[in-house]
Amino acid sequence: MELGLVVEHYVLLASAIFAIGAIGFLMRRNVLVQLMCIELMLNSVNLTLVAFNRRHHGDMNGQMFAFFIIAVAAAELAVGLAIVLQFYRLRGSVHSDEASSLRH
């Protein structure tokens, strides 16, 4: 059976990665690992986009979109890690439960 010639395969894989990333984000307490899970989710979206784009010959919208997602993800990560550093300076750890100033 020929894998990878049908868009459903890619969508399936992407949803699996997305699910793993989502669960990881919800479960892990380390802020850095949470950020990495976000990256996972973004990557899965990228994969979906490019897979669907393969179906449209000549129309590069999907890939362009993925390109921008990469750029934005990089920017967001930069700022996010800066925040993590400040957070570390403030709390002394990167445990996400420490970030509970909004607690009642």
Partner 1 sequence: MEALSHIFPSQDYALLGVILALPLLGAIGNGIFGKRLGKEAVTLMGLSAVGVPFLFALASFCLLACHGEGEHTTTSLTWTAWHWLELQGSGAGVANFRSISLDVAFRMDPLSGVMSLVITGIGFLIHLYSSKYMEEDPGYHRFFAYLNLFIFSMLVLVLGDSLPILFVGWEGVGLCSYLLIGFWFTEEANAAAGKKAFITNRVGDFGLLVAMGLLACYVGALDWTGIEAGREALLSPVKVWPVSDSVPIAGVLPQSWAEFLNAPRYLDPATLVCLALFLGAMGKSAQLGLHVWLPDAMAGPTPVSALIHAATMVTAGVYLLCRLSPVFVLSPLAMFIVALFGALTALFAATIALVQNDIKKVLAYSTVSQLGFMFLGVGVGAFEAGFFHVLTHAFFKACLFLGAGSVIHAMHARIHDTNASQDMRNMGGLRAFMPGTFMTFVAAWAAIVGLPLTSGFWSKDEILFKAKTSFVTAPAELRGHSPTGPVAIDTFVWTEGMGTALYLIGLTAAILTAFYMTRLLLGTFFGEFKGWTITPGWTDPHAAHGHGEDDHGHDDHGHDDHAHHAHEEPGPSMQGPTPHESPWQMTLPLWILGGLAVAAGFLNAHAIHVAPLGHFLEPVFTTASKSVASHEGAEGFLWVGMAAAVLVAFGGGVGFAYWVYVQMKGVPAAEWTAKFPGVHAFLRDKWRVDEFYQETIIGAVDSLAEMCVWADKYIVDGILARFTAGLTQVLGTILRQFQTGRVQAYSAVMTLGMFGVAAFLWSPQASVREQVDERAGTYALAAAPGLGFSYRWDVDGKEGWDGEYGAAKAAHFKLDVGEERTVKVAVKNAFAVESEKVFTYVRPRPDLSRPAGSVEGPTRIVKGEDGKLRAGGGPSEPGAATGRPSPTGPDMEALKRAMERQRKEDE
Partner 2 sequence: MTAGSLLFAVCAALCLAGALLVVTAKNPIRCAMGLLTTIVGIAGLFLRLSAQFLAAMQILVYAGAVVILFVFVIMLLGPAASGEAAPPQRPSISQLIAGAMVAVLGVLSLGLIGYGDSHAFELIGQSHGSVAAVGSRIFKEGLVPFELATALLLVAVVGAIAVARSKPAGHKAKPAKEENPTRRMFQGPVNRPGAAGAARENV
Site for partner 2 in 8-27 (CB under 8 A): 8-10, 12-13, 15-17, 19-24, 26-27
For the window 38-67, what string marks contact with partner 2 as x by the rule CB under 8 A? -xx--x--xx--xx-xxx-xx-xx-xx-xx
Q: Which does 84 bind (CB under 5 to 8 A by kind): partner 1, partner 2, none?
A: partner 2
Q: Around 94, how many Cα atoms within 13 Å sit in the side-chain half-sphere?
A: 14
47 contacts 17 by C-beta, under 8 angstroms: yes
**Range 31-60, binding partner 1 (CB under 8 A):** 34
Of 1-9, 25-33, 58-66, 84-92, which segment contacts partner 1 by CB under 8 A? 25-33
What is the rounded distance in angstroms from the CA atom of residue 57 to the CA atom of residue 6? 15
Cβ proximity to partner 1, 9 vs 29, nearer residue:
29
